[in-house]
Amino acid sequence: MSVVSMTVNGKPVSVETEDRTLLVYFLREQLRLTGTHIGCDTSQCGACVVHVDGKAVKSCSVFAVQAQGAQVTTIEGLAKDGKLHPVQEAFRDNHGLQCGFCTPGMIMTAVDMIRRNGVMDRDTIRHELEGNICRCTGYVNIVSAIEDAAKRMTSGEKAA
By CB under 8 A, residue 43 contacts other proteins: yes
By CB under 8 A, residue 73 contacts other proteins: no
Q: Which of residues 96-125 bind other proteins (CB under 8 A)?
A: 109, 112-113
Stretch that binds other proteins, among 50-58, 91-99, 141-149, 152-160 (CB under 8 A): 50-58
Residue 155 CB contacts under 8 Å (≥ 6 apart), including other chains:
none
For other proteins, which is the closer residue by CB, 22 or 27? 22
For other proteins, which is the closer residue by CB, 94 or 109? 109
Nearest to 50 by CA among 17, 27, 66: 27
Cα separation, 139 vs 116, in Å, equals 21
Among 8, 31, 33, 62, binds other proteins (CB under 8 A): 62
By CB under 8 A, residue 131 contacts other proteins: yes
Among 14, 42, 137, 155, binds other proteins (CB under 8 A): 42
7 and 13 in contact (C-beta within 8 Å)?
yes
Sheet strand arrangement including 11-17: 11-17, 2-8, 71-73, 49-52, 55-58
Question: Is residue 83 exposed (0-12), middle (13-18) or buried (19+ Cβ within 10 Å)?
Answer: exposed
Interface positions with other proteins (CB under 8 A): 2, 18-20, 22, 25, 41-44, 46, 49, 55-58, 61-63, 65-66, 68, 109, 112-113, 128, 130-132
